[in-house]
Structure 1
């Protein structure tokens, strides 16, 4: 039985979800300009979701549930502070708009708000996009994301980083327990 998967994003600039394989690794701009209505074998994929930031979106929009940005987001996995304490919207002059995630010491996810479920074994900040589950979780889909690391904050190679994780729609996972504090 095929099991649909969701990708929880730790760091990304632009996210697209398409049905079928892309015929190349073109830029996001090239993909947007391509014919995205086909989806037939050998043709361009049919884009079913596009999480693209617009120039008028700002960090404060993350804390406003009525904003256009908040309507693109189903849930932000974070610590107890407001979303803008963990997630920032950047508009660099020489690049596309970006989402910057901060994984802080207090970035402890507590599913359902119940402290007994706190995932102390690691720190995480995820932005989970609002998707149409009827189309996104049916058949085979391909998830594209762009990850850029901060050159001013290099990775500490002795840490165990996970830039993306895969969870099934009911949030179950396989592997070590999420509550492991070792």
Structure 2
């Protein structure tokens, strides 16, 4: 199981909060953000895996290489909007050695992980959110959960009632 959190800049102290979690998570950063490289460096300095958040529908190799330039330590590209990606983007991901995390199924021999559930980042209670995560985790050991970096999510992941076995999303990338 893996958790990918989108850091959209809404939570101050994200790298420190994520580093203090009792399980590994992966952070998704939009490479077009002005502070994308600095944010990536802050997470990577704490040993936290990073992926690039990028819309691939209609995108070509240029978009993939621009994302890789902004986030050179990203292990994959995550697209939460498109079910399918074009051949040019898929070839660029392959050439760059990047995996794909998406809502849809994989493309050919491209390493891929499919998002299986989106966790609410607006939950009113970390206990309720922790229960939801536990319930979803019980049904699928290869699950990839997507959420946003928010205090309630951090609190839920610290609840101590979650199952073990969480891994960085790169461990779930499959051909």
**What's the TM-score once normalised by structure 1's chain length?**
0.25
Which is bigger in relative contact order (C-alpha 8 A, separation at least 6)? 1
More strand by share: 1
More helix by share: 2
**What's the TM-score once normalised by structure 2's chain length?**
0.26
